[in-house]
Structure 1
Amino acid sequence: MSVQQDPGKEYQRRVSRMQSRVRGLMLGLALGDTVGGARGEPPAAGPLRAGVSTQLACFTAEGVVRAMVRGQHKGICHPPGVVLHAYCRWAALQGIEEERMRRRWVPYPSDRPWPDGWLAGVPALAERRGSAPATVTALSRIEDPHSRIATPSRGCHALTRTLPVAVAGPHWSEQAGEFAALTHGDPAARSAAVQAAVLLQHALTAPRPDGPGDPAEHLARTALETGIAALPAGPAPGSDGEQERLHAAFRSALDRPAEPALLARLAPEASAPSALLGGLYTAASFPGRDRFRAALEFAAGAPDPGSVACVTGALLGAVHGAEALPVDLVSRHELGWVLDTLARDLLAQIEDSPGGSEYVPGWDPHWWDRYPGW
């Protein structure tokens, strides 16, 4: 006797599973940023502070939602411009060239508050939590209409801040590179951001395995291997052979997992390619659902621990979901609620468009105020 499936319940289950993985990605990158920044030894009690990568990733996620809202209501949108505006709001909250940012985005007297949107009201996002020199230098040129503001940098923030873009789906992979290139002009930084988006998209959508062994371990490694295989064959322009290095890093994790000296060789610096290689190697070395904490502690031994642990946390969180993250860490993170809300809202915008569109009214009358489309 066959049991008839309820389509409505199956849809709810699918959305719930995806929501868990999106939350896992967002919370995982934040825990990695924090644990890595503390070199594997976060405080045993009290709030866990967010790093600058997490702050910028929050504004990337918010910018993606606002770009989608704009496209639906205005019929046309240039997502990099909307996300650039998001980074400028972060800078203004930080007190970085605040008047210059305001002149760029609100050039005429207006009663409209700026920075706008709900994220601008989060106190922890207005606090300095480390440096992002290439991002700040580029944003400081925001008023110059005749020059490209990006620096020649291939620094890690080009990658870590763009990780949430993966949630938007495969057609946004190239946008991750565009967002990185807003401030980091080295082609390798752009390439690493695109590759990370592809890996994370496969982590988010990996089907549960039916084979023998540890299902969670098999799930993580299969998702990463499938993601690498989905990358274009041959070296991407400007990637400096990075795709081949991803294949080699993954194989190294299978043959020689969790070797500190190998991690140091794969990720020797605070660059976007190093963060991606180190994060991939670590995630593949600790693929089990119960190894998340151990993975972050190992990543924290890299020469630039914050960026490697950030990528590691995002990959494993996306595969295993938010429920696999250590409760004692997630519950103490100062931006836990913010990240959780952004994850839910990003998925809601993709699945259901709460704010409606130019011709269809939305079911949430406050959505535009939360995520103004510009």
Structure 2
Amino acid sequence: MDATAGPVWGRREQQDFRSRVRGTLLGVALGDALGAPVDGMGAEAVREAYGAAGITGFAPAHDRRGAVTHLTQMTLFSVDGLIRAQVRRDTGAWHPPTDLHQAYLRWAVTQRDWGPDERRAEDGWLARQEWLYARRDPARALLLGLGDGIMGTPGSPKNPGEAGPEAAARSAPFGLLVGWEPHLVAQLAVECAAQTHGHPTAYLAAGAYAVLVHGLARDESLDAAVQRALALLAARPGHQPVSEALQQALGAVRQGMPTPDRVTRLAGAGTAEGLLATAVYCALVGEDVRHGLCLAVNQDGPSAAAGALTGGLLGALHGETALPPAWLAELEGRPTILELADDFAMEMTQGPALHSPAGSSPAWLARYPRGVAGSLPG
């Protein structure tokens, strides 16, 4: 697996890219936090609890307003893994799925330890953020898939019967690799999804979602990005459920005004392809980011995943300035998310100035150590 040479970065291009990176990561977190209080509740129960319009703003979850779940946590570790992959490439090693697996193992440590171990400098700065050491209802497949340190692959996936949306919901950062060709973005997302979600529907939905974010981050329309994803899916065995779900999302747009019932039908049983369809539909029909996210979470399926997936699309499409400022003010972990987003944008646009085989910034390597392939967090 290799990337292209990438775009030419002028100042305006760098600023736009940073805005889309921030928008994507913050959008994932906002949608996740909006859906967290009603995750697992039926639409009727949501209306009974929050009124006829359902939930329309942050409500308490996990002992605070604006709390995120494991979906945002893992999205941030996806970013960390991608930066670490670029840094470790200086050593001559280049296998991003391994670096992502190491990042997900660092996330798994946050689910069982009370707090960061300052002695483990090789963990880097993200794993030292105290607020991430909170167990926010992680799906069983995540803990099982990362429980033994062995990396799943598409040929030998972890949890081969698991078709949930969690792998797709952590895959927005792959789409921010704007210098890569779309098929490589999809392949990386598929390989990393198979580390916890081995059903073809789950890992192909992750690949498709990454391609959608990739198109939006490169200033394409969502319609065009969906068509590209469908074309790439067509060559993959087992693609039919995901392809059909995307087609259903496009068809639903032509059926009139959006309704919670229509979103619920798209979400279906809450598996990866239904939540992907929900996100595409809500991003297409939402009048703005707030409306799109509220549509996504007020349905019978997993609301946090639906919100996270939708938020990633809307953030990549519109950039950070379109996100609701009142929600951003309450969002858990916002300073960390912004710092990580800016690090990612700097790595992707100015990486050679930060590190190379000939010499590197000690401060950057302290934040993102090169590490050793195959070393596991304790």
TM-score (norm 2): 0.81
**Within the alignment, does 1:42 sit opposite 2:50 as a pair?**
no
CA contact (8 A) 1:53 1:161 kept: yes
Equivalent residue runs for 1:57-206 within 5 Å: 57-71=75-89, 73-95=90-112, 113=120, 116-142=123-149, 150-152=158-160, 153-169=162-178, 170=182, 171-206=184-219
* Stretch moving more, 49-58 or 260-269: 260-269
| Partner-residue secondary structure (3-state), 2:204 | helix
Which amino acid letter does the alignment assign opposite residue 324 of structure 1?
Answer: A
Q: Aligned match of 1:341 in 339, 342, 352?
A: 339
The structural deviation recorded for 1:173 is: 2.5
1:326 aligns with 2:324: yes
Residue type of the partner of 1:326? P
Cα deviation for residue 247 of structure 1 reads 2.5
The one-letter amino acid paired with 1:65 is I
Which amino acid in 2 is paired with 1:116? D
Paired-residue identity, %: 31
What stretches of structure 2 of length at least 5 have no aligned partner?
1-8, 39-54, 372-378
> Which residue of 1 is the match for residue 305 of structure 2?
307
Q: Distance in 2 between matches of 1:261 and 1:158?
A: 25
How many angstroms apart in 2 are the aligned matches of 1:232 and 1:325?
28
**Equivalents in 1 of 2:307, 2:151: separation in Å?**
35
Q: Is the 8 A contact 1:89 1:115 kept in 2?
A: no
Partner of 1:350: 348
In structure 2, what is the equivalent of residue 56 of structure 1?
Answer: 74
Q: Is 2:367 aligned against 1:370?
A: yes
Q: Which amino acid aligns with 1:329?
A: W
* In structure 2, distance between residues paired with 1:277 and 1:345: 31
CA distance in 2, matches of 1:320, 1:231: 20
Aligned equivalents of 2:334, 2:207: Cα separation in 1: 26
Indicate the residue corresponding to 2:252 in structure 1: 252
**Cα distance in 2 for residues equivalent to 1:115 and 1:136:** 22
Q: 1:28: which partner in 2?
A: 27
C-alpha separation in 2, matches of 1:284 and 1:248: 13
Contact kept, 8 Å, 1:30 with 1:313, in 2: the verdict is yes
CA positional deviation for 1:269: 2.8
1:255-294 pair list within 5 angstroms: 255-286=255-286, 288=287, 291-294=288-291
1:139 positional shift: 1.2
Deviation at 1:132, TM superposition (A): 1.9
Give the aligned CA root-mean-square deviation in angstroms: 2.6
SS in 2 for 1:255: coil
Closer, same or farther: CA 241–129 of 1 in aligned 2, 3 Å: closer
Q: 1:144 to 1:308 in 2, by over 3 A?
A: closer
Structure 1 ranges of 4+ moved more than 4 A: 44-47
| TM-score normalised over the length of structure 1 | 0.82
Number of residues of Structure 1 aligned to a counterpart in Structure 2: 332
Q: CA deviation at 1:201?
A: 1.0
Contact 2:33–2:69, Cα closer than 8 Å, also in 1: yes
Deviation of 1:351 after TM superposition, in Å, equals: 0.9
Cα 1:328–1:357, aligned 2, differ >3 Å: closer, same or farther?
same
